[in-house]
Amino acid sequence: MRVCCVVEGKTEYFALPKIVGRLGHIHVLTLKFDGGNNDDCPWDTLIKKRIVPRVLGVALKHPDKILVVCDREGRNECPPTLAKAAAAIIENALTEENIIANVAVIVCDRRFENLIMADTHLVDRFSFMNEKFSDAVGNEVDGKSVEGKFNDCCRSPHSYDKVLHGSALAQKMDLACPEVQQRSRTLRKLLKELQ
């Protein structure tokens, strides 16, 4: 499957193409939008102003699927509700432009890091970890500040680097492991969309 991605942040920009490739698909293009602190922007405005133009752009590449990946961050609504609302806005925009595209919207709970840190034992193997990340996070990563917990477990002066560590985790995480999948609903949704 030929896949284009529209993503919110640096981690997604560098990590998601690696996951797409590892699952046997062809990564065509990724466009990043700046979500900033997306809590400050109404959801429909964020989708219409920052995401829709990029979806329309990648649709010109005629991929088999367009993945839109954004963060829930501090919003109160659940990820499936936000994803459904975003998908409706995107579908309306595509219809207005007379473009047919297969779009999947994935809203991370709370951030994309929650997905790539679902392999908690892989995170434990970073040489600069003072404490076990897997103990700090437990059996579920959804809704937690995993970046904060990552940094709490690091030996000074180390801290989480979105590009370096995000890419390394995406390249090596055990995507097939049921325990890893069970820790992140967002990961399960991504894997389902890339079947």
Two structure tokens written together for 76: 């109160």
The amino acid present at 161, given as its one-letter code, is D
Domain that holds residue 165: 113-179
Does 15 share its domain with 59?
Answer: yes
Q: How far apart are CA 172 and CA 167, in angstroms?
A: 9
Does 90 share its domain with 132?
Answer: no
DSSP string of 119-158? -HHHHHTSTTBSS-HHHHHTT--TTS-HHHHHHHHBPTT-
Return per-residue pLDDT of the chain as tens, 195 residues.
Answer: 999 999 998 999 999 999 999 999 999 999 999 876 666 789 999 999 999 999 999 999 999 999 999 999 989 999 999 999 999 999 999 999 999 999 999 999 999 999 999 999 999 999 999 999 999 999 999 989 999 999 999 999 999 999 999 999 999 999 999 999 999 999 999 999 999
Nearest to 184 by CA among 122, 95, 97, 93: 122
CA atoms within 13 A on the CB side of 126: 26
Q: How far apart are CA 68 and CA 54, in angstroms?
A: 10
Nearest to 111 by CA among 165, 74, 136: 74
Distance of CA 40 to the CA centre of its chain: 20
β-strand 26-32 against 65-71: which pairing, if any?
Answer: unpaired
Does 86 share its domain with 22?
Answer: yes
Number of domains present in the structure of the chain: 2
Cα dist. 23→140, 162, 188 in Å?
Answer: 23, 22, 13
- pTM to 2 decimal places: 0.94
Residue 15 lies in a domain: yes
Nearest to 131 by CA among 114, 155, 147: 155
Does 90 share its domain with 118?
Answer: no
Residue 85 belongs to domain with CATH number: 3.40.50
Residue 85 lies in a domain: yes
Does 53 share its domain with 77?
Answer: yes
Does 162 share its domain with 107?
Answer: no
Does 29 share its domain with 125?
Answer: no
Residue 185 lies in a domain: no
Does 85 share its domain with 122?
Answer: no
Which of 112, 135, 159 is the C-terminal boundary of a domain? Answer: 112
Does 127 share its domain with 163?
Answer: yes
Does 52 share its domain with 98?
Answer: yes
Residue 36's pLDDT is what? 65
Does 13 share its domain with 94?
Answer: yes
Does 62 share its domain with 20?
Answer: yes
Residue 13's pLDDT is what? 97
Which of 112, 137, 156 is the C-terminal boundary of a domain? Answer: 112
Residue 11 lies in a domain: yes
